[in-house]
Amino acid sequence: MYHPAKDNLFTAYLGSGTQLNGKQIKVKDNKSDIEKIELRMSKLWKNNGQEERITKLLTPYKVCQYNHSKSMALSYCELASGQVDGLISITKDCFPEFAGSLIVQEAGGMFTNLDGNNNLNLTDRIFVGGKNKEIHQKLLQLTREVSKLN
């Protein structure tokens, strides 16, 4: 995945890790006072208040939302390179998540569907990524809580 504004090229190969401009990267597991979470919700998703409910549950975190001004691929690369600590994606198209999961997992992070499975299906629409197991599990749990309300 290429970010032309920063001239950054992210690559990942199964079993070989993730690279940024040819150098191996790993998700950072630094403890910060407030973890930064990116929330991505497709504008095509009929969310029935899900966005408001999930945002309310994310109050212990610094939540970033980009209103579709940035590609999903770059969001996953930011998680892999440690610029964000976690990510929740609710989407109508799962294609970017197949590549995103590889980038994140090969950098040492966690990435799953709503079932907690890292083997993604074409029918999956809700995804959770985290820099480590702890934050991934917290985000997965609150995402499941919100998805049950529909």
More confident residue, 73 or 114: 114
The pLDDT of residue 68: 55
The pLDDT of residue 113: 96
Residue 68 lies in a domain: yes
Residue 67 has pLDDT above 60, yes or no: no
Residue 31 lies in a domain: no
Residue 1 lies in a domain: no
Residue 18 lies in a domain: no
Q: Which whole number is the average pLDDT over 115-122?
A: 93
Residue 48 lies in a domain: yes
HEC profile of the chain: CEECCCCEEEEEECCCEEEECCEEECCCCCCCCCCEEEEEECCCCCCCCHHHHHHHHCCCCEEECCCCCCCHHHHHHHHHCCCCCEEEEECCCCHHHHHHHHHHHHCCCEEEECCCCCCCCCCCCEEEEECCHHHHHHHHHHHHHHHCCC
Whichever domain contains 46, its CATH number is: 3.40.190.80
The total domain count for the chain is 1
Alpha carbon distance 120, 102 (integer Å): 11
Residue 21 lies in a domain: no
Residue 102 lies in a domain: yes
The pLDDT of residue 31: 66
- Domain range for 92 is 37-147
Residue 78 lies in a domain: yes
Tell me how crowded residue 28 is: count the other CB atoms within 10 A of its CB.
15
Over residues 80-113, the pLDDT tens digits come to: 998 899 999 988 878 889 889 999 999 999 999 9
